[in-house]
Structure 1
Amino acid sequence: MALNATLHTVTVHLADVDRGVYEELELRVARHPSETAEYMLTRILAYCLEYEEGVAFSDGGVSSTDVPPVLVRDLTGRLTTWIDVGSPDADRIHRASKLADRVAVYTHRDPAKVLAQLPAKRIHRADRIPVYSFDRAVIDAATSALDRRNTLTLSITDRHVFLELNGTALSTSIEEHRLT
Structure 2
Amino acid sequence: MALQATPYKITLDISDTDRGVYESVKFTVARHPSETEIRLASRILAYAIFYHPQLAFGRGLSDSDEAALWEIDLTGEIQHWIDVGQPDAERVIKASRRAPQMSVVVYGNARLWREKTILQFGHLDNVRVLALAQEELAIIAAKLTRSTHWGVMISDAQLYISDGDQQMPLPLECWHGELPTAP
TM-score norm. by structure 1 comes to: 0.91
Give matches, 1:28-177, under 5 Å. 28-58=28-58, 60-121=59-120, 123=121, 125-165=123-163, 167-177=165-175
Secondary structure at 1:118's aligned position in 2? helix
* TM-superposed deviation, 1:166: 5.3
CA 1:61 to 1:31, structure 2 compared with 1: closer, same or farther past 3 Å? same
> What is the aligned-residue RMSD (CA, Å)?
1.7
Secondary structure at 2:108's aligned position in 1? coil
CA 1:37 to 1:57, structure 2 compared with 1: closer, same or farther past 3 Å? same
TM-score norm. by structure 2 comes to: 0.90
- After TM superposition, the structure 1 stretch with the greater mean CA deviation from structure 2, 44-53 or 157-166, is 157-166
CA 1:84 to 1:139, structure 2 compared with 1: closer, same or farther past 3 Å? same
Tell me if the contact between 1:145 and 1:166 (Cα under 8 Å) persists in the aligned partners.
Answer: no
- After TM superposition, the structure 1 stretch with the greater mean CA deviation from structure 2, 129-138 or 33-42, is 129-138
Secondary structure at 1:126's aligned position in 2? coil
Q: Deviations over 1:87-127 (max 9, x none)?
A: 11111111001110011100112232222341534x38534
Q: Distance in 1 between matches of 2:7 and 2:87?
A: 24
Tell me if the contact between 1:106 and 1:132 (Cα under 8 Å) persists in the aligned partners.
Answer: yes
The letter of the residue matching 1:76 is T
The letter of the residue matching 2:37 is A
Return 5+ residue gaps in structure 2 as ranges: 178-183
Q: Distance in 1 between matches of 2:118 and 2:15?
A: 35
* TM-superposed deviation, 1:62: 1.6
Secondary structure at 1:174's aligned position in 2? strand
Q: Distance in 2 between matches of 1:10 and 1:76?
A: 27
Return 5+ residue gaps in structure 1 as ranges: none
The letter of the residue matching 1:126 is L
CA 1:76 to 1:124, structure 2 compared with 1: closer, same or farther past 3 Å? farther
Q: Distance in 2 between matches of 1:164 and 1:24?
A: 14
Equivalent residues, number? 177
Tell me if the contact between 2:137 and 2:170 (Cα under 8 Å) persists in the aligned partners.
Answer: no
- State the match for 2:9 in structure 1: 9
